[in-house]
Amino acid sequence: MIRLRTLECVIDVLKTEKGKLFICSCNKVYKTEHFLKHHKMFECGKGRFYKCPHCASKFTRKYTLKTHVIMKHKARSSDFDLDADACVQ
């Protein structure tokens, strides 16, 4: 099954990259080779290591967790500590 986001990316790629598709082995499609490389380095096959202290969300990068907490839970960065307590294996 192809996700809507994947189809949107394919349409964008056809418009901006002269039809080049950058497809990961997990079937995600990217507009550029740079985004595909980034996906492979930080997302594909990686476990999510940082758990949000307010909900069940987990993230591969501490910065993404911090942004999530600030945007979704309206917390200030000084209101929480994202050291070892947030990291799960």
Whole-number pLDDT of residue 43: 79
Q: Would you write out the chain's pLDDT as a tens digit for each of its 89 residues?
A: 555 566 666 566 555 556 678 888 888 888 888 888 888 887 787 766 888 988 999 887 888 898 999 999 987 766 666 654 555 54
User: How many angstroms from the chain centroid is the CA of residue 44?
Assistant: 9
> 36-56: per-residue pLDDT in tens?
888 888 778 776 688 898 899
Contact 42, 20 (CB under 8 A): no
pLDDT at 4: 57
Vertex 22 angle, CA 20 and 23, to 5°: 130
Nearest CA-CA partner of 69 in 82, 87, 85: 82
